[in-house]
Structure 1
Amino acid sequence: MTREPILALPDFGKPYEVRTDASDYVIGEVLMQDGQPIAFESRKLNETERSYTVQEKEMTVVVELKTPAGLLQPLPVPERPWESLSMDFIIGLPKSESFGSILVVVDRFSKYATFISVTNECPAEEAARLFLRHVRSGATNQSPFEIVTGQQPLTPNAVVTHCTRPNPAAYRFAKYWQEKNDLARACLHKANKCSKKWAGKKRMDVQFQVGDSVLAKLHLILRYTGLHKGLVRRYEGPFKVVKRVGKVAYKLELPAKLKVYPAFHISMLKPFHGDQEDPN
C-alpha cells in the first residue's frame, strides 16, 4: 500500500531541492524541502523542445521554475496622504460570526490601514459598499475625519502655505511636518527603485500579442472544493489574448461560465504550445 504525498508549506529559512524528470513528450518538476513536496508542475513539450537532449529538457524545467514572468513595475509614489489607496483580501481565516476574510484598505503614502471583516464571498459591489461605509461615508460623501472635525484633513503643504500669522512655533511645527512628508516620499521612491532592481534579477521579460493563445493559472481563483490538490490543474485554457492592460497584465477571452475578472498579471499566464500530432 502507498500513500499519496501531501504538499507541505515552505519554510523560507531552509534550502530548497528541485527534482526534475523528462521523457520524449513531457517534462516535470517537484520543489521539495526536507523530503516533502511543496509544489509541482508538468507539461507537454512542443515540437522544437522534443529535439532537446535529456539534459536540455531538464534544464528547461529549472529555468521555468526559477524565472517568474513579468518584470516588476512599481506603482507611482503618491504625493500626499489618501491620494492613492490599495485594497486586498486576507482569506482562509477561521470563521468568526460568519466572517472568514478581511478586506484591507491601505493609504499608500502613510501606510495607514483599515481592516474590515467580510464573508468569504465578497463580490465587487459588496466591497464597494463596505469601502463607502468604513472608509468614506456613501450617505454623506465625506470621510469620517470630515464628519467629526468639519474639515478636510490638512496636509503639510496646506499648513505651510496658509500659515500667515506671526507665530514662529506654529510655523516651525508645520515646516517640520512638511519635511517629514518630503522624507517619507523620498524613502518610498528609493524603496521602489530597490524593489525593481532586485526583482528584475530573478524575473524574465515576457510579452504576449493580441490573438496569442495562453494558459491561465486559475486554481487559486476558482477555489476548487472537494478535490485533492494533486487532482487540480494549475493552468486552464487555452484562452485568447484580446487586450494588453498596462505594462504587465492582459485581458483574456474567457468562457461566460467562468465568473472571474478577465484581466491577469503576466505571472499567472504562460504561452500555450499546441500539439501538432495530437491537437486534443
Structure 2
Amino acid sequence: MQLNVTSVVNATTVSFIELDQATKKMYQKAYAKDPAYKKIWKTGHASSDYEVQEGLIYLKSEGTVRRLCVPNHRKLRLDVIHNIHDAAHPGVRRTQLAAAQWYFWVTMDIDVKAYVQSCEACMRYKSNTRRKSGKLQPIPIPTACWEVVSTDFITHLPVSDGFDAIMVVVDKLSMRPVCIPTHTTATAEDTAKLFFNNVIRHYGIPSTIISDRDPKFTSKFWKALVSLMKIKAAMTTAHRAQADGQTERQNRTLEDSLRCSISYHGNDWNEYLPMIEYAHATLVSTSSKLSPFFVYTGRQPRNPLLPGGNAEHLTQSRVEHASRFVQQRQQVIERARKNLQDAQEAQKKFYDRRRAEHPFRVGDLALLSTQDLNISHATAETTLRSRKFVPRFIGPHTIQELHGNVAMLDLPANMKILVNASALTSSKWITASLIGSRAESFQVNASDLRRRWGAAARD
C-alpha cells in the first residue's frame, strides 16, 4: 500500500492521507460492508464527525490533519500497523501515537498492542521489560542438623600445599560450614571420598544433598553412590546460583576472609582454612540469629578470653543434667527453625516484589533467553558468530514439563537443559484474531531448526 500526504487549501491548509488506486478501491468496498461507515460512504455527505474526500472517509478534528477512517477489514488495518511499526519497531505506546496521527478506528489501540506484542523481531531482539517470571520458592527448613546439606566448589585458587580448590559443604539448619581443600581437577570419585571422610564420618548420612550441575554431581558414579546410600540429589537449574544462595553466600564470605588473611602471593590459604572455618562456625548467623556451633552442639564454644573461659559447672545430678540438655536442644532447634522461617519469609517478600507468577503451562510456546547460552546455540538461528547482535530470545519452543519454576523445553538433543521460568518469555499472544496470519510465519520449522542446532554443535 503506497501512502502519500496531500494538502487541500481552503481557508486553512488541511492534510489528508492519499492512497493508490488499488488500495482506495479496497477501502471503498470495505466501507460498503462496514455498518459504521456504510451510510456515510453511500451518500457521500459529511456529518458533524466525518467528511468524505475522493471516496475516502476522514474523521474531523480541531487540527490541520484529517485522520483516515479504516473500515473493519483485517488486511487494511494490518497494513496500516505494519507500515508504522515495522520500519523501526517502536514499542506499543509509540506505535499507537504514530498511528493515531493519521488513522482512526475504534479498536486501534487494542489492535496495535496485539500486533506489537506479537512482533517476532521485537520478541527475539528487544529487551524484555516485563517483571521476571517465577516467584521465590524457598527450600523447606530441615528438622534436624545435617539432614539436608548443600555443596559447592571454589576453584582455580593459587596452589597451596598442593591444593587449588575448596569443597564447601553447609548444613542447611545450623549453617555450619565444612571447608575441604581439594583440586580443581577432582573427579566424582575423589569428591565422594572427601564427602565421606569429612562430612558423613562426623555428622552421619544426610537425606538430601543440594548441588549445582557440576559434572562431578551429574556423573554416573555420583548418581549410583547417592542412590545406594538412599540420599536424594537435588540439583539447581543452570545459571541460577541464587537457587542455593546459602552456599553461594558462604563461598563469598569464605573468599573474603581468605583475602584478608593470606600473604601477598596467596599461596598459604590452606594454613588459614581451619581457623577461618572455626571462626565462621562460632559467628552468629543473620538468618538463624544463633551461631552454627550453638545450634549443632547446644552450647557456646569455650572462649579463653572471657573471665573463667565461660565454663559451665555441673551442679545437678546426671539425670537432671541429661533431661535439661535434651530440653535445651529441642528449644535451640525450634528457635533456629523459627528464625530461619522468619528470614525466609522476609527474603521471599522482598524477592517477589520484583517478580510475577509465571504464566506457563505444559504445551505452551515460549521463547528462551540467549543470555546464558553457548554462542553456537545462541546464534544457531542466524549467520552471526558474535554476541553483539545475537537475538535476545530464540524459539518458540514447546514446554514439555513444568515443575515449579523449572521447565523442560522441546530442544534439540544436544541441548537438553532445564531452564528457569525467568529465562522464558511467553509467545501465547501470537494467536490474536487480528494477526492470526502472522502466527504461520512465526512458527519455526522444527526439523530445519534441529539441523541448524546440530551443525552449531559440531562447529
Q: TM-score range by the shorter chain?
A: 0.5 to 0.7
Whichever residue aligns with residue 257 of structure 1, its letter is N
* Pairing partner for 1:239 from 397, 401, 405: 397
Secondary structure in 1 matching 2:333: helix
Q: How far 1:253 moved relative to its partner?
A: 1.8
Is 1:175 paired with 2:327?
Answer: yes
Larger CA deviation: 216-225 vs 180-189: 216-225
3-state SS of 2:331 partner: helix
- Contact 2:375 2:386 (C-alpha < 8 Å) held by counterparts: no
In the TM superposition, residue 178 of structure 1 has moved relative to its aligned partner by: 2.9
Residue aligning to 2:194: 134
Q: Which amino acid aligns with 2:196?
A: R
**C-alpha displacement at 1:47, in angstroms?**
7.3
**One of 318, 321, 346 as aligned partner of 1:194:** 346
Distance in 2 of aligned mates of 1:88 and 1:65: 32
2:142 equivalent in structure 1: 78
Deviates more, 1:66-75 or 1:228-237: 228-237
Give unmatched runs, 5+ long, in structure 2. 1-83, 92-110, 205-295, 299-316, 378-384, 431-437, 445-459
User: 1:204–1:145: structure 2 CA closer, same or farther, 3 Å change rule?
Assistant: same
More strand by share: 1
Deviation of 1:156 (Å)? 7.4
How many positions carry a matched residue from both structures?
207
Aligned to 1:253: 410
The Cα shift of 1:105 comes to 3.2
1:228 and 1:94 map into 2 onto residues whose CA distance is: 31
Q: Percent identity?
A: 24
Displacement after TM superposition at 1:104 (Å): 4.0
- Give the distance between the partners of 1:234 and 1:103, measured in 2 at CA: 35
Alignment of 1:223-238 (within 5 A): 229-238=387-396
Contiguous gaps of at least 5 residues in structure 1: 1-22, 29-45, 148-154, 158-164
Residue type of the alignment partner of 1:264: V
Q: Whole-Å Cα distance in 2 between the matches of residues 101 and 88 of structure 1?
A: 11
- What does residue range 1-280 of structure 1 map to in structure 2 within 5 Å? 24-25=85-86, 26=89, 48-50=113-115, 64-65=128-129, 67-88=131-152, 104-115=168-179, 117=182, 119=184, 126=187, 128-136=188-196, 143-145=200-202, 166-220=318-372, 222=374, 229-245=387-403, 247-258=404-415, 260=416, 262-272=417-427, 275-276=438-439, 278-279=441-442
Give the aligned CA root-mean-square deviation in angstroms.
4.3
Aligned to 1:15: none
2:388 alignment partner, SS class: helix
8 Å CA contact 1:156–1:175 kept in 2: the answer is no
TM-score by length of 2: 0.37
Distance in 2 (CA, whole Å) between partners of 1:184 and 1:106 is: 15
Structure 1 pair 87–236 and aligned structure 2 pair: CA distance change class (3 A):
farther
1:11 is aligned to: none
The offset of 1:255, in angstroms, is 0.6
How far apart, CA to CA, are the structure 1 residues paired with 2:392 and 2:178? 33
TM-score, normalised by the number of residues in structure 1: 0.56
2:353 partner amino acid: K
Tell me, what secondary structure is at the counterpart of 2:400?
Answer: strand
Change beyond 3 A, Cα 1:137–1:218: farther
In 1, the alpha carbon distance for the partners of 2:168 and 2:392 equals 27
CA gap of 1:95–1:244, structure 2 versus 1, over 3 A, is farther
Q: Which has the higher helix share?
A: 2
